Structure formats: C-alpha cells, structure tokens
Amino acid sequence: MSTLNSLLSKNQQRTICSQLGSVKLKLLYKATVHGFTGAAFHQRCDNQSPTVSVGYNASGYVFGGYTKQPFSQSGQYVNDDQAFIFGLAGGKLQKYPVTNSPYAIRMIANCGPYFGESLVLINGSQPVTYSNPQSYYKFNPAEMHGNDLNLTECEVYLVEGEFSGKNNILQKRKELMESIKNFKPPVSSVSQARVLLIGQVGAGKSSFFNSINSVFRGHVTSQAISGSSPTSLTTQFRTYSVKDGRGGKPLPFTLCDTMGLEDSKGAGLDVDDISSILKGHVPDFYQFNPTAPLHAEVQGYRKSPRIKDKIHCVAYVIDACKVSIMPTNLEDKLAAIRRKVNLLGIPQLVLLTKVDEACPLVKEDLRNVYKSGYIQDIVRILLIMKKLPYLDIKLDDVGVPLSCIVPVKNYSGELELDLNCDILLLSALIQMLRFTDNYFDELSDRLGSTELKD
C-alpha cells in the first residue's frame, strides 16, 4: 500500500507534540483508506501505544484524544492518568484532561478510539462521533467540535520518541527537584539559603516565586501578588518559603521579594533600604516607604542579625523585552545597588524573564532559548551596560547560558504546567543555590569556622 498522507498540517502536528515532549507522529490508521469500522481500526491500531486519535468534520473542526495505553477489544475500561481529549483551532490546542482516570479508555470491538464515555470516534462502525461532555472528561462540545458529530475523516497516530523524549525531560525535572530538596547550607545555624529578588516594576519577581511554588505543588499557583501595573504591586518586604508539595516540609531556600524599582526619584524601592535588607535588619512584612529609608526604631528591626537573617545571593530580575530600552535612571539605581552588594561580598546573578515574549523562536519552543541569537544579543546588551555584575566577562566569551545570566519563563496566564518551562525555572534556582554556596565559602575564608556557627 502507498504511503498514507496525513490530514494534519505540520503546524498542527507540532502543536499536538508540544503537549507530549520531544516526539513525532506516525500515521497508523486513516478511515477513508482503511474503512470507517471498528474492525479496521483495531486491525491497524491494537497493541500500539502511545497514540493520538484525530477526528475531522465537515464544519472544519479538528478534535481527538491522547492515551498512553494500547488499544484492544477486551470490552474493559483501562486506567490512564495522562489521557486527555482536545480541540484544535487557530493553531492552539484546548486540552481537557481525564477527570476519572480508571475510566479513561474503553476497548470496544465495533468502535474506534473510545475515551471514557465522553468521546468516541467511529461509533458502532459508523462515521459518526459519540459525545458526552458530562462524563469522564469535561469539555465544551460547541467549542471542541461545533456539535457536528458526522466524521469526514478519522486518523490515529503512533507517538514515537515518547520514552526517549518526554521521559528524559521528566527524569531531568525529577533530578533537578531532588537536587534542590537535598541542598543543605554548609552553616549549621542556617536551614534556608536566602535569595533576594531585585528588579524593575513588572519584571516578574513575584511571578518567579509563584512559578517555583507551582513546580513543587504540581499545579499553577498564585500566592504572591503579581500582575501588570505601572507601579509596584509588592509594597512590603516578603520572605517566601516553598514547601515540598501541599503540606510538605519547607525546602532549603527562601525567596525574598522587594518593592519594584522605578526610574523616577522618590518612587519604588529606596536604594538605601537595600543595605538594611542585605545585612538582615529588615523584618518580614516591612512596609516600604519610597520617600524615607528604614531606620532602627521601626518595629521588628533586627539590630543584631544572624547569618540566617542575611541575604546570601542577589538575583536581578530583568525583563528580556525591555533590556534595550531600560531608562538611564534605572541603570544608575542598579549600579548603586551593585556597589552595595559588592561591598558585602554577596554573589549576584541575573534572572532574564519573559524570554518567550522577547523571541518568537523561543515562544515556539522554550528549548530554543539556548540557540536564540536574539537572546544572545540581549545578553551582550547586559554586558555592555556595565552596570550589572559581570565586569570581568569579555564580550568575546559570551555564549548562552552564562553562569550569571539565567533565562526563565514564569507562569502567568497558563492553567497547566509545562515540562520545558519547569526545567528552566529549576535550573535557575539550582544556580542561585550554587551561588549561595559561594557566599558561605567566602564567609568561611574571612571569618573562620568558629564565627560561622553563629
């Protein structure tokens, strides 16, 4: 038989594959060629997995489902916690995960792909769809297939590279998470490394905490106030501890959030407050006053902070979309902060956010962040500014990633986690923890082990 021609466009295939990892689709069954019957479907697709099934109707809708389970004719329900059905329109995939995984897939001899009483492609060996949005998948039928249940085509694809692609990414994420969980500051009195986030209003400081918290919770969360505003939404000094899942133990780091920097005088975070924060004087929930720096009479002010109260690493949060248009006054503020941080011997790095918005190539696939010439140009601009912490790096040595410039994409409008996004976020956090180790090493060299016991 001649090679089967896929009705899915290359862009549609890429959109589907983006949900599954580094995979490709191989067409197994095409109803207009092999027949709109359960027998033809099972002959081509039984014992094949994972698969993507796709239905088409005369109204122009494209929809279907994914399962990691192989098809059969047993008549039984099969458990699949990763199964989902979807609608595909306008280059976007609307995903509807299974809500009752023991009933995710059913193996019926005279039917095609059968997704838990919710969606059946080729029903009773007829070119029609069975649809029930109130069953084991919740979806909007008008949105998914336009309530047109007559199929013009049904295709089933084998997902190739699932184990070499997505499973490798899953393993990488697991390894990064375990490395973070097992991190231990080398000072007995310090249980959590403290990382201070500093950046322009809207750069994504609070969103970074929310994103890290989301990865360890297993779903998108929004504990810290974040969003778009011309002035800082964060008005207090906040220290955020992340737990290992809901009700889990606190992880060995604290992310410290500050009021956003603004380019005008008397607005945003006061640069003079930075020294107090770095030295550990500032209490949690301290209300910033842009017109007056913190003083020792403020309630909760720590007059004799311990090592565990101090900042062990500073991360400048920079919006990749705004590097080239950063106001001069803001550059000067960053330079002043950098000098204060240098005097205290605290390691510094840059968290380059919104890389997907800055580069279309990265937006298409986050893994392209290390290949993007545009992102490398942004890094060069940061180095040329000479007001951030890498005066010892030569431009000729620049390549992404750099140890002190780490790219990330925060979760903002997403409803589901993305493996590649998680990898960038966790890698950035790992680098921060490595830098805190540098802080303690330097402190040990200066003070000796006795003083480090605090």
Q: Is residue 201 part of a domain?
A: yes
Domain closes at, from 136, 160, 184: 160
Same domain, 201 and 147: no
Model pTM score: 0.61
Same domain, 218 and 331: yes
User: 3-state secondary structure string, the chain?
Assistant: CCCCCCCCCHHHHHHHHCCCCCCEEEEEEEHHHHCCCHHHHHHHHECCCCEEEEEEECCCCEEEEEECCCECCCCCEECCCCCEEEEEECCEEEEEEECCHHHCEECCCCCCCEECCCEEECCCCCCEEEECCCCCECCCHHHHHCCCCEEEEEEEEEEECCCCCHHHHHHHHHHHHHHHHCCCCCCCCCCCEEEEEEEECCCCHHHHHHHHHHHHHCCCCCCCCCCCCCCCCCCEEEEEEEECCCCCCEEEEEEEECCCECCCCCCECCHHHHHHHHCCCCCCCEECCCCCCCCCCCCCCCCCCCHHHCCCEEEEEEECCCHHHCCHHHHHHHHHHHHHHHHCCCCEEEEEECHHHHCHHHHHCHHHHHCCHHHHHHHHHHHHHCCCCCCCCCHHHCCCCECCEEECCCCCCCCCCCHHHHHHHHHHHHHHHHHHHHHHHHHHHHHCHHHHCC
Using one digit for the tens of pLDDT, what is the confidence trace for 163-206?
A: 445 566 777 888 899 999 999 998 888 999 999 999 888 889 98
User: Is the separation of the CB atoms in 69 and 44 below 8 Å?
Assistant: no
Same domain, 343 and 224: yes
Q: Is residue 186 part of a domain?
A: yes
Domain closes at, from 160, 175, 192: 160
Using one digit for the tens of pLDDT, what is the confidence trace for 379-419?
A: 877 776 655 554 344 444 433 345 688 899 999 888 888 98
Whether pLDDT at 317 is above 90: yes
User: Is the separation of the CB atoms in 226 and 233 below 8 Å?
Assistant: yes
Percent over 90 (pLDDT), the chain: 47
Same domain, 191 and 336: yes
Whether pLDDT at 8 is above 70: yes
Same domain, 188 and 153: no
Closest of 20, 118, 53, 81 to residue 365, by C-alpha: 20
pLDDT at position 266? 57
pLDDT at position 268? 61
Same domain, 356 and 207: yes
Q: Where does residue 266 rank: exposed (0-12), middle (13-18), buried (19+ CB within 10 A)?
A: exposed
Listed range (102-111, 132-141, 379-388) with the worst mean pLDDT: 379-388
Domain closes at, from 113, 142, 160: 160
* Count of domains observed in the chain: 2
Using one digit for the tens of pLDDT, what is the confidence trace for 233-288?
A: 556 788 999 999 888 899 999 999 888 887 666 566 777 788 889 999 887 877 76
Whether pLDDT at 297 is above 50: yes
Q: Is residue 374 part of a domain?
A: yes
Note down the domain range covering 193. Answer: 166-452
Whether pLDDT at 120 is above 80: yes
pLDDT at position 34? 95
Same domain, 266 and 376: yes
Residue whose entry in the numeric block shows the structure tokens 């390691």: 347
Using one digit for the tens of pLDDT, what is the confidence trace for 15-31?
A: 999 888 878 999 999 99
Q: Is residue 3 part of a domain?
A: no
Q: Is residue 2 part of a domain?
A: no
User: Is the separation of the CB atoms in 67 and 49 below 8 Å?
Assistant: yes
Which amino acid is residue 422, in one-letter code? D
Closest of 248, 239, 143 to residue 196, by C-alpha: 239
Q: Is residue 410 part of a domain?
A: yes
C-alpha to C-alpha distance for 347 and 341, rounded to whole angstroms: 8
Same domain, 130 and 177: no
pLDDT at position 412? 85
Same domain, 404 and 438: yes
- Looking only at the bridges linking them, the beta strands covering 119-121 and 313-319 are unpaired
What CATH number is associated with residue 278? Answer: 3.40.50.300
Q: Is residue 1 part of a domain?
A: no
Instruction: Tell me: cis bond preceding 401? Omega within 30 of 0 counts.
Output: yes
Q: What angle, rounded to 10 degrees, do the helices at 205-217 and 419-447 form?
A: 110
Same domain, 390 and 280: yes
pLDDT at position 391? 39
Q: Is residue 327 part of a domain?
A: yes
Same domain, 254 and 145: no
Same domain, 146 and 174: no
In the predicted model, what is the mean pLDDT of the chain?
84
